[in-house]
Structure 1
Amino acid sequence: MHSKVGEVREGIISGIQPYGAFVQLDSGEKGLIHISEISKGYVKDVAQFLHVGERVRVKILDYDPLLNQCRLSLKALQSNRSHRKSSREPKVPKMVIGFKTLQEHLDEWIQQQNKEEQNVEI
């Protein structure tokens, strides 16, 4: 079965390189997911997103019948709201800072500044 551009297929990651991941599609074709097609977010290390032996769903971006190879994308299947994140990425806690904190300390800071100015004048 020959792949057509735009089709969504499944396959298994067969190799990882700094520039992308090789996929053996269930249909028999081979393909490459270039690093730029892994996620909508920044990908520094392909191995943080994909692993050899992992089953993936990919979209076919291009197909070369002479080589029986596909150019593949994970990014094309991701929704606009989410992208695959590595479990190794640190999770930053949500911080809530507002004007109330400033208001609570404003009088103290003004008094401290006044004392410092008085000490300089003496």
Structure 2
Amino acid sequence: MTLAAGNILEGTVVNITNFGAFVEIEGNKTGLVHISEVADSFVKDIREHLKEKDKVKVKVISIDDNGKISLSIKQANVQKKSANPIEIDWSLENKKNYSASGNFEDIMSKFLKDSEERMQDIKRNQDFKSKSGRRSY
């Protein structure tokens, strides 16, 4: 495989510095994973995430004219995440608030009743605040 931007490869961490990690890919080629490309969250100490001789998946971000290779662990892992989206069981939400076994009209009437009750509570609270704030002279 030829080395090109966008490729995802497996490499070995060969050196760790304060600003990133050097990863050996495709034989004797070495690229830099900048500290900002190690994880999705803020990385203060890279040694908490990587150590030498770790096998990591990296994405080739760029190769400059001098042959310097920029790599990213974070972007290589994004590919995996997007392939398996999180599934949400919406039925649990419905069971909490409204009876999922009822038909649409029953669910809607319950929603409207709850909404109206909340609006009345808000209006009462606002009226109380406005009356208690007034002074008669």
Q: What letter is aligned with 1:36? A: S
Aligned-pair distance for 1:70? 1.1
**TM norm structure 2:** 0.53
Please say if residues 22 and 32 of structure 2, whose CA atoms lie closer than 8 Å, have aligned partners that are also in contact. Answer: yes
Rg larger in 1 or in 2?
Answer: 2
Gaps of 5+ in 1: 83-122
**Equivalences, count:** 81
- Structure 2 counterpart of 1:32, one-letter code: L
2:40 maps to what in 1? Answer: 40
Q: What are the residue-to-residue correspondences of 1:1-122 with 2, within 5 Å?
A: 2-64=2-64, 66-67=66-67, 69-79=68-78
Q: In structure 2, do the counterparts of structure 1 residues 65 and 29 end up closer, same or farther at CA, with 3 Å as the change threshold?
A: farther
Identity %: 32
* Structure number with higher relative contact order (C-alpha < 8 Å, ≥ 6 residues apart): 1
Deviation at 1:26, TM superposition (A): 2.8
Higher strand share: 1
The one-letter amino acid paired with 1:73 is S
SS at match of 1:78: helix
For structure 2, which runs of at least 5 residues remain unmatched after alignment? Answer: 82-137
Tell me the TM-score normalized by structure 1. Answer: 0.59
**RMSD (Å) for aligned C-alpha atoms:** 2.2
Would you tell me which structure has more helix in proportion to its own residues? 2
